[in-house]
């Protein structure tokens, strides 16, 4: 991956290049931002630039040397990729990154350096299990570090979605991140910095990867679908919130379903006292979706509620927060979100998310969530 292939992020790219050119690049760094902001793309471009034998300082890796050629296929022997895995039909025990490396390389290239964790789980057939970076990955990292590098002066460990590291793995890595082997770089990415152990956080330098700016999103959306009108592009820019991966997600039926479910859940919640049967019917269907889909939907729910709250407080948004949801709902629903219930509503949804993580019974979880939501909406 070249810096020129990383979308937007000009300031960030400049900063990284100047750190590397000035020999000030930290041995352990954490890129903090959503996958769709380009955290992995930035991590891979950084690694390629570090490793390139003929880099053009301040500009980019050469894209011609042996190192760059191997990096373009992610097969450089001194680039080590670590990422969350689960057991699957093929790997039914002792899952670890190295057993999925061929799939991962193809997967990252298929998405041009902008993959999402949800897509990865689908790709490997995780069947609803949450991925983890486990102690076998940590052991592999440690044993790799004790070997000499093969071709490059540097060994580079890229750890994608490092917050998926379990405690055992993190504890094993602490020491080598603190006192690294010579000529070794750790490049971590995360979408949930708060879920990384503080002991790891204190040993890495965190660099924020911000959402993509509107200009970059405009170009990316146009490239994705050249038939869109200016207004459609602008709505999409607003809905994507600087997240490149959302451009394709938003397009799909999945997005339409999220909108429909948002409306339906709120409609049911508003009459929760007399609609137990309807809620139960809805929940029966909804609870059959995968856990990842449910979590994704609740993320969407939170983002939408937050937008409505900002909108109600006079914050200028590029378009109405409920743009896609029928006129009546669009006009009425925002009135139900007030200072009396915004915080409790967020808590209700977060609790439901938490319950999914803890494998709670989906039907009970969502039934309960809708009742509690109804109770809060009533208190507006
Ligand atoms: Zn090169």
pLDDT per residue over 10-54, tens digit each?
Answer: 999 999 999 999 999 999 999 999 999 999 999 999 999 999 999
Count how many domains the chain has.
Answer: 2
Q: Indicate which CATH number applies to the domain containing 149.
A: 3.40.50.300
Position 58 in a domain: yes
CA of 51 to the centre of ligand 1 (A): 7
Domain end call among 173, 208, 243: 208
User: Which ranges constitute the DSSP H helices of the chain?
Assistant: 10-21, 39-51, 66-72, 101-110, 117-124, 135-146, 167-178, 198-201, 214-224, 230-240, 244-251, 253-270, 276-286, 291-312, 327-332, 342-357, 362-378
Cβ atoms within 10 Å, residue 103: 16
Same-domain pairing of 309 and 367: yes
**Residue 75 DSSP SS3:** coil
| pLDDT in the model for residue 85 | 97
Same-domain pairing of 321 and 194: no
Same-domain pairing of 204 and 259: no
CB 305 within 8 A of CB 348: no
Same-domain pairing of 256 and 356: yes
Same-domain pairing of 187 and 298: no
CA of 50 to the centre of ligand 1 (A): 9
Same-domain pairing of 262 and 190: no
Same-domain pairing of 368 and 265: yes
Position 348 in a domain: yes
CA of 189 to the centre of ligand 1 (A): 23
Same-domain pairing of 183 and 283: no
CA of 355 to the centre of ligand 1 (A): 47
| pTM, full prediction | 0.72
Same-domain pairing of 31 and 127: yes
Q: Which residues surround ligand 1, an ion (CB under 5 A)?
A: 52, 61-62, 65, 68
CB 13 within 8 A of CB 207: no
Position 237 in a domain: no
CA of 66 to the centre of ligand 1 (A): 7
Same-domain pairing of 134 and 258: no
Which residues constitute the domain of residue 75? Answer: 3-208
CA of 77 to the centre of ligand 1 (A): 15
Q: Treating both helix axes as pointing N-terminal to C-terminal, what angle do 253-270 and 244-251 enclose, rounded to 10 degrees? A: 80
Tokens of 341: 């219930």
CA of 371 to the centre of ligand 1 (A): 58
Position 246 in a domain: no
CA of 63 to the centre of ligand 1 (A): 5
Same-domain pairing of 317 and 198: no
CA of 157 to the centre of ligand 1 (A): 18
| pLDDT in the model for residue 128 | 80
**Comparing C-alpha atoms, which of 208, 164, 191, 291 is closest to residue 245?**
191
Of the CA atoms within 13 Å of residue 40, those in its CB half-sphere come to: 27
CA of 69 to the centre of ligand 1 (A): 7
Position 296 in a domain: yes
Distance of CA 352 to the CA centre of its chain: 19
Position 225 in a domain: no
CA of 44 to the centre of ligand 1 (A): 13
| pLDDT in the model for residue 249 | 80
| pLDDT in the model for residue 120 | 94
Position 324 in a domain: yes
CA of 62 to the centre of ligand 1 (A): 4
| pLDDT in the model for residue 11 | 97
Residue numbers in the chain where pLDDT is lower than 70: 251-253, 318
| pLDDT in the model for residue 265 | 97
CA of 53 to the centre of ligand 1 (A): 5
| Largest separation between any pair of C-alpha atoms in the chain | 71
Domain end call among 176, 208, 240: 208
CA of 150 to the centre of ligand 1 (A): 16
Position 287 in a domain: yes
Same-domain pairing of 8 and 91: yes
């Amino acid at each position: 991956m070249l810096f020129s292939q990383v979308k937007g992020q000009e300031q960030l790219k400049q900063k990284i290049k100047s750190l590397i050119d000035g020999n000030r690049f930290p041995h352990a760094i954490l890129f903090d931002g959503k996958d769709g902001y380009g955290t992995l793309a930035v991590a891979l471009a950084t690694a390629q630039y570090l490793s390139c034998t003929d880099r053009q300082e301040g500009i980019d890796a050469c894209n011609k040397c042996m190192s760059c050629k191997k990096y373009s296929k992610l097969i450089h022997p001194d680039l080590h990729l670590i990422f969350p895995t689960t057991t699957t039909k093929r790997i039914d025990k002792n899952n670890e990154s190295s057993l999925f490396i061929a799939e991962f390389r193809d997967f990252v290239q298929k998405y041009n350096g902008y993959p999402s964790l949800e897509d990865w789980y689908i790709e490997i057939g995780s069947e609803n299990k949450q991925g983890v970076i486990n102690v076998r990955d940590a052991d592999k990292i440690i044993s790799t570090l004790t070997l000499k590098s093969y071709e490059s002066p540097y060994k580079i460990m890229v750890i994608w979605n490092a917050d998926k590291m379990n405690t055992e793995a993190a504890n094993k890595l602490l020491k080598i991140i603190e006192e690294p082997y010579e000529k070794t770089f750790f490049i971590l990415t995360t979408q949930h910095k708060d879920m990384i152990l503080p002991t790891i956080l204190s040993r890495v330098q965190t660099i924020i990867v911000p959402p993509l700016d509107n200009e970059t999103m405009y170009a990316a959306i146009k490239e994705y679908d050249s038939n869109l009108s200016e207004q459609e592009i602008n709505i999409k820019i607003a809905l994507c919130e600087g997240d490149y991966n959302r451009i394709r997600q938003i397009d799909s039926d999945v997005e339409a379903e999220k909108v429909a479910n948002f409306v339906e859940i709120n409609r049911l919640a508003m009459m929760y006292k007399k609609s137990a049967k309807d809620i139960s019917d809805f929940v029966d269907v909804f609870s059959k979706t995968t856990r990842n889909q449910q979590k994704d939907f609740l993320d969407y729910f939170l983002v939408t509620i937050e937008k409505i709250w900002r909108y109600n407080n006079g914050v200028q948004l590029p378009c109405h927060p409920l743009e896609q949801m029928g006129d009546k709902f669009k006009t009425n629903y925002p009135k139900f979100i007030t200072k009396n219930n915004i915080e409790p509503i967020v808590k209700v949804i977060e609790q439901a998310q938490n319950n999914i993580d803890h494998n709670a019974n989906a039907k009970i979880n969502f039934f309960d969530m809708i009742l509690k939501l109804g109770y809060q909406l009533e208190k507006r």
